[in-house]
Chain A
Amino acid sequence: MSLILAIIALGAIGLIAALLLYFASRKFAVHEDERIGQVGAVLPQANCGGCGFPGCAGFAGACVKAADAGSLEGLLCPVGGQPVMEQVAEILGMAVEASAPKVAVVRCNGSCENRPRLVQFDGAPSCKVQQMIGMGETGCSYGCYGCGDCVAACQFDAIHINPETLLPEVDEEKCTACGACAKACPRQIIEVRLKGPKNRRMVVLCNNKDKGAIANKWCKASCIGCGKCVKVCEKFEAITLTKNLAYIDAEKCKLCRKCEEACPKGAIHAINMPPRKPKAETPSIPNTQSTPNAPTQNVEPSKAE
C-alpha cells in the first residue's frame, strides 16, 4: 500500500513541477532572432575582435541589428572579407556595398643599417616595457622597438620580425587587417591601410614627428618633413604634412610615383610595383639611395601582377 502511495505522491509532484516549468518557459521565453545563429554560422569564428565587437557572436548580433535599421554600412569582418560579408548580406536580405580590402603596414624602415643601435636593451622583451624606460635602442623617438609586441598580438601568424633588419614584416596573404598589431604597437607605427589596386600602394615608411634635423641625424630612411612630396602631389592633393611627417591618403593617391622620386631620403616606397625602367636623363642618385632602403614588404613583382 505504502509503495503505491509513494508512486502517486511522487507522480503528483512531478506533474505539478512539469506544469510549472511548462508555464514558466512559455511566460519567460527569450526570443532570439534565429538570423543571429545563421549569420554566426558563416562567420570565421576566429573571435579576433578585429571587427570591433566582442567576438563573432557579438558581430552577428550587430549585423542583424544593423539590417533591421536598414543598412550594413560600416560593418566588416576583416578576417572573412568581402565573400563573408556577401553571405551575411544574403542571409539578411540586404545588398552589401563593395569594401576595399585592407592590410597592415609597418611604417618604419629603421633597419639596423638605416638606424644604428646606440645602446642595448636587456630587459623584459616587450615593446611596452621598453617604452616605459625611454627612447629605445636607437636615437629615434618614434621608430620600431623591434621587440615584437605585434607578433605576439597577431592571431593569424601574419607578422614576423626579420632577423636582419629587426623590423616586423607583414605577410600580405595571411594578414586579415584585423588591426590587433596596430593596437599592440605602443608607438602607433602599424597602420591598417587600403591594399590598393592590384595590391599596389604608395606608403611613407616612417613615423618620425621630430624636426628634420633630429630625424635625419639618427636614421637614414626617416621622413624629415621637407614637403617636397606635397609639392609634386599638388594635382591630386593626396599627401599632407602634419608634425614634420608626410602622410599619403590612399584613397586620393593615383600611384603616379612622383613622390617616390621627389623624396630626398627615400622614405616613400612604392609597394608591389614593377621596378622602374631606368631613364637616361635622371641622375643615378635616387637609385643608389633606394637600394639600402628597399621596401620591407615587397613580394615578388610577378606575384603582384
Chain B
Amino acid sequence: MKTFKIGGVHPEENKLSAGQPIREAQLPKQAIFSMFQHIGAPANAVVKKGDQVKVGTLLGEAGGFVSAPIYSSVSGKVSKVDVALDASGLRRMAVTVDVEGDEWEESIDRSKDLIRLSDRPELDAKTIVEKIKTAGIVGMGGATFPTHVKLCPPPGKVAECVIVNAVECEPYLTADHSLMLAHPDEILVGLQLVMKAVGVTKGYIGIENNKPDAIQLMTEKAKQYPEIEVVPLKLKYPQGGEKQLIDAVIGRQVPAPPALPIDTGAIVQNVGTCFAIYEAVMKNKPLIDRVITVTGKSLKHPSNLLARLGTPFSQLIDECGGLPEDTGKVIGGGPMMGKALLSLDVPMTKGSSGLLIMNDKEAKRAEVDPCIRCAKCVGACPMGLEPYLLAKVSELRDWDAAEQEDITSCIECGSCQFTCPSHRPLLDYIRLGKSTVMGIIRSRVAK
C-alpha cells in the first residue's frame, strides 16, 4: 500500500465519532461572521447595522484576488459590524447577525436531487471557476486557501491530475469520513467539476486505510467514472499534508519553496471542498455551512455536526452533551495542528474541521527536559528537516541560519514535537522562526 517516503509518526487515532451520521446542528440565536475566514486579504463588510439579511446574502466582498467573499448562513438583522474575538485569538472585524426565522435567498436550490455533470453539458471551465469564486469557497481541510486561486495555475504551469484529499490523518477528526459516507456521489461530481475546471482527465481520491467503509463505498461509486481512481493509503501522519499526499499518490516530490505543489502537475482538493464545489456550481449555494467534528474523551456524545458558519462553539458543545467538568483545553481543529481557543464564544469559520475537548490530564504539557540529541525529530520530519536545529536557531533569533536550514519548508505538522522524548516545544519556536524568516524574505523581494 502506498504512503509518503520520509518521516511521519503514528499518533493514537481516537476517532470517537467514526460511524456517527452527520447531524444537523440547531440554528444559533446569534451568528458572528469573521471577515478573516481565509488566507489572503480579508473580506470587506458590505452590510451595515440594521440591515435585514437572508441565508445566502452577501455580507463581505472579497478584498482582492487571493480572498473570498463571505455570505450569511442565517436570516435576521445585522446587529453589529465591529471587531470581535475569533478563533485565531485576535479581535478582528466581524459582522454579527441576530437570527430571526430561517429564510433563504431564492436563487439557492435546496432540493436533495443529485445533478450529474452530464446533466449540465453547458458548464465550461471558466463558468465553474467563476461560480467557485463567487460562492466564497476556500480549502476546507483547515488551510482555508481560496480555491479559485488554486484552480488558476500561474502561467507556464500545467495541471496533469486532481487529487482529492480524503486522508483525514488528524486524530479524533471524522468530518471528512462522515461526509464521504453521506454524500459519495456529490463528492465525485465535485471532483469532476474540478477536473473540468483545470482541464485534466485523471482524478485520484486518496483515503487512509483506517476508513475501510469509505474506501469500499467510494470505489464502488467511482466505478461509473473510469477517469477517477480511489487510492487506499497506508496509515501515517501527516499524510493529509498537500506535499505528502502528492508523494503518496503519484510518487512525485514538491521541490523546496518557492516551488508550488502545481510544479508536480497535481492539484489537491479536500473532500469537504469538493462537496462545497458541487453545491456551489450545481445548487447555486454559497459556502454557508460545513461538517464539524465535536469530540473529546470526556464529552458525552462525540458527533459530526452539519453546522452553519458563524455558530458559536459553545452552542456546538451544548448539542453534544455540554462542556465536561474536567475540561482542560478546547482546541479548534485536530490535536496535532489545531489551536487552543481563548474563549468558547468565538464562532466557527470556513476552516473549522473539528472541536476537540481535552480533559485536564491530556491538556497538560509534560515538563520540558534538555535535548538529548536522539534525532527522533529528524527521523519524524516528513520534510527532511532538522527540527531540533531549527527550533534552537529560532529561539536564539539567528534568522540567517534558520533560512539557510530551509525553515520555510516546514509544514508545521507537529510530528517533531509529538515524537520528542524531552517534550521540547519545538514547533512553537519553529513557527516563530518560519513566520519571521518569511517576513524577511517578503521584505527583501519587495525591495
Q: List chain A positions with a Cβ less than 8 A from chain B.
A: 118-119, 122-124, 126, 128-129, 132-135, 141, 210, 214
Contact = CB atoms under 8 A, between A and B. Distances in A.
A141 B90 contact: yes
Interface string B82-111: 010100111100000000000000000000
B429 A210 contact: no
Contacts of B364: 122
A135 B429 contact: no
A129 B91 contact: no
Nearest to B363: A122
Interface string B336-353: 000110110000000000
B88 A129 contact: no
B435 interface: yes
Contacts, number: 46
B210 to A, nearest CB: 30
Given A135-B91, A141-B91, 6 more contacts: A119-B340, A122-B365, A123-B365, A123-B428, A128-B432, A133-B89
Contacts of A133: 89, 339-340
Nearest to A135: B89
Main secondary structure of the interface of A (DSSP, over half): loop
B431 interface: yes
B91 A210 contact: yes
B90 A126 contact: no
Contact of A124 (B91, B429, B435): B429
A208 to B, nearest CB: 11
B431 A129 contact: yes
14 contacts: A122-B364, A123-B425, A123-B428, A124-B432, A126-B428, A126-B429, A126-B432, A129-B425, A129-B431, A129-B432, A134-B90, A135-B85, A135-B90, A214-B91
A119 B90 CA distance: 14
A23 B286 CA distance: 81
A128 B394 CA distance: 11
B429 A129 contact: yes
Contacts of A129: 425, 428-429, 431-432
Main secondary structure of the interface of B (DSSP, over half): mixed
The bracket for how many chain B residues form the interface is: 10 to 19
A124 B425 contact: yes
A187 to B, nearest CB: 13
B156 to A, nearest CB: 34
Contacts of A135: 85, 89-91, 342
Contacts of B83: 210, 214
A134 B85 CA distance: 10
A132 B432 CA distance: 7
Interface string B413-439: 000000000000100110110010000
Contacts of A132: 431-432, 435
A123 B91 CA distance: 21
B347 to A, nearest CB: 15
Nearest to A122: B365
The 6 closest A-B pairs by CB, nearest first: A134-B89, A124-B428, A124-B425, A123-B428, A129-B428, A122-B365
Contacts of B88: 134
A116 to B, nearest CB: 13
Contacts of B85: 135
A122 B428 CA distance: 11
A119 B429 CA distance: 21
Interface in B34-65: none
B344 to A, nearest CB: 11
Nearest to B365: A122
A200 B202 CA distance: 75
B42 to A, nearest CB: 17
Contacts of A214: 83, 91
Contacts of A118: 342-343
A141 B84 CA distance: 12
Interface in B323-344: 339-340, 342-343
Nearest to B343: A118
A214 B83 CA distance: 10
Contacts of A126: 395, 428-429, 432
Interface in B241-257: none
Nearest to A153: B397
Nearest to A137: B342
B423 to A, nearest CB: 11
Nearest to A134: B89
A146 to B, nearest CB: 16
Contacts of A124: 395, 425, 428-429, 432
Contacts of B89: 133-135
A143 B395 CA distance: 22
Nearest to B434: A132
Interface in B368-426: 395, 425
A127 to B, nearest CB: 10
